[in-house]
Structure 1
Amino acid sequence: MHATEALRRLLEHCPELDRTHDLVRQFASMLDARDAAPLPDWLDHLAVSRLPALDGLAKAIREDQHAVVQGITTPFNSGVNEGRITDLKLQKRIMAGRAGVPLLRHRVILMAGLRRSYP
């Protein structure tokens, strides 16, 4: 079965997932267009979605809405740095805090090389 067909069938059988999918696509279109004008209405839709996780997301975004608007409308972000920090934290957790700086550095460098090989 093709992935698009599987997604369509899944969304037909789960109304909550269908609403979530629609809301995520709306946010993605804001990012693609770099247009934050629909953000307040979109947050209202999240709040009334009757999906607790999305309501919580709406509250969190409203707390830092100015930063979210900047993230949507500007081409600058810290995504690469955040990815590296996430890699570092993951490696530290995997090794349960037993790794010293040299081993941790080696593993982070290997992770960075893998990221370049598989975009």
Structure 2
Amino acid sequence: MEEIASLNKCFEFYPLVKELYNTIQTYRGAIQTKNLDIFLQWIREQLSSEKNPFYYYALRLLSDLQAVKNALISPFSNGLLEGQINRLKTIKRVTYGRAGLAILEKRVLYRL
């Protein structure tokens, strides 16, 4: 509760922070709930003026809107695959130049 009180006090002193906070929370809510309508409304609001804090971010999202829409409406994710690729690359970097293929294979298979 102390954090909320501090946040509200910050909003009193800096009204622009409250606007920024609300913008971020709207975006965050749209992504977490996978609500495409709220997300598209958020993009429209941000693109309404170059002075909006996330104008260029929204412009970048708009350039790849189909991929973002698919991520919001599809129940599928490639996160598990990306995690395994990241793990493999990390192991490869750690053992670079010090281990042969046999040791690399063991580290991958036994999660060392």
Q: Is the 8 A contact 1:34 1:74 kept in 2?
A: no
> For residue 26 of structure 2, what is the aligned residue in structure 1?
26
Higher RCO (C-alpha under 8 Å, 6+ residues apart) = 1
> For residue 38 of structure 2, what is the aligned residue in structure 1?
38
> For residue 115 of structure 1, what is the aligned residue in structure 2?
none
Q: Look up the SS of the partner of 1:50 in the other structure.
A: coil
> For residue 114 of structure 1, what is the aligned residue in structure 2?
none
Q: Distance in 2 between matches of 1:91 and 1:10?
A: 44
Q: Distance in 2 between matches of 1:8 and 1:68?
A: 33
> For residue 52 of structure 2, what is the aligned residue in structure 1?
50
Q: Is the 8 A contact 1:35 1:72 kept in 2?
A: yes
Q: How does 1:98-117 map to 2 (within 5 A)?
A: 109=111
Deviation, 1:84, is 5.0
Percent identity among equivalent residues?
20
CA RMSD of aligned residues (A): 3.7
> For residue 70 of structure 2, what is the aligned residue in structure 1?
70
In structure 2, stretches of 5+ residues that fail to align are none
How high is the TM-score relative to the length of structure 1? 0.58
How high is the TM-score relative to the length of structure 2? 0.61
